[in-house]
Amino acid sequence: MKRAALAATLAVSSLLLFILADPGFHSVEKRIYSQYTVSLVEDFDLNVVNQVPGHEAWLLTRTLNYPDVHSNGTSVLWAPFFLAAKAMDTPEVRAPLYRTAQVIANVFRGLMAALLIWLLLRRFYSTGVSALTVLILLVGTPFFWHLVYQPENADITSLFWAVALLHLYCERARFKPVAFAFIFGVALFAGVAVKFDLIFNGLL
Closest alpha carbon to 195 in 168, 161, 171, 170: 161
Closest CA to 154 of 94, 78, 84, 86: 78
Give 85-143 pLDDT, tens digit per residue: 888 776 666 777 888 888 888 888 888 888 899 888 988 888 888 888 888 888 888 88
Distance, CA of 90 to CA of 42 (rounded, Å): 12
pLDDT for position 194: 65
Write down the pLDDT at residue 27: 58
What pLDDT shows up at residue 181? 86
Query: What is the Cα–Cα distance from 132 to 140, expressed in whole angstroms?
Result: 11
Read off the pLDDT of residues 27-82 as tens digits, 9 standing for 90 and up.
Answer: 556 677 778 888 888 888 877 777 777 666 667 777 777 777 677 677 778 888 88
| Separation CA 150–CA 27 (nearest Å) | 6
Buried residues in 12-49 as b, exposed as e (16+ CB within 10 A): ebeeebeeebeeebebeeebbbbbbbbbbbeeeebbbb
d(CA 202, CA 27): 28
How does residue 22 score in pLDDT terms, banded at 50, 70 and 90?
low
Query: pLDDT digits over 130-188, tens only?
Result: 888 888 888 888 888 888 777 777 788 888 888 888 888 888 888 888 888 888 888 77
pLDDT of the residue at 9:
64
Cα–Cα nearest to 187, from 109, 204, 167, 176: 167
Give me the count of residues in the chain.
Answer: 204
151 neighbors 173 (Cβ within 8 angstroms): no
Tens digit of each residue's pLDDT (9 = 90 or more) over 1-13: 466 665 666 565 6
